[in-house]
Amino acid sequence: MTIELAMLAAGIVLGMAHIIVAAHLQSAQRGYRWTASSREQDVPPLTGLAGRAERTLRNYLETFPFFAAAILLAATTGTHSWLTVWGAQLYFWGRILYAILYLAGVPLVRSIAWNVPTVGILMIVAAPFLK
């Protein structure tokens, strides 16, 4: 298995971790009765750490399909280079950094850190065209 595919697998695990953390924080804020319900009633928006975890999850779910597609593009074209290796690493570790900063409520640096995984995706997509 290439490092790029290993990082894709790690990205899947990271996505599951996002879901688990957000779900538990949401349940803690809204109550476990709400969690066990049909969830059809209106509820106030999540606040604090639970709200940030939910937004971090949503943001992850917006970028992960692009990362997965980029890795699959590299794999199917037989592209394995410093661009794909570094791009995969930047995406994965950048997403962890972004999540930590977002959950901690750090404003400006968090927004700057969002660019790290984005650059990683672009590096992977560029690699097949540069070989």
Digit-coded pLDDT (tens) for 48-99: 999 999 999 999 999 999 999 999 999 999 999 999 999 999 999 999 999 9
Q: What is the mean pLDDT of residues 113-119?
A: 97
* 25 vs 43, residue with greater confidence: 25
Domain extents in the chain: 3-130
Q: Which of these, 103, 94, 86, lies nearest to 21 by C-alpha position?
A: 103
Q: Is the dihedral of CA 12, 88, 127, 78 positive or negative?
A: negative
- Per-residue pLDDT at 34: 83
CA of residue 2 relative to chain centroid, distance: 20
Number of Cβ within a 10 Å radius of residue 25: 20
The whole model's pTM is what?
Answer: 0.93
Q: Taking a C-beta distance cutoff of 8 angstroms, is the pair 88, 95 a contact?
A: no
- Cβ neighbours of residue 78 under 8 Å, at least 6 residues apart? none
Hey, what CATH class is 3-130 in? mainly alpha
Tell me what pLDDT residue 104 has.
97
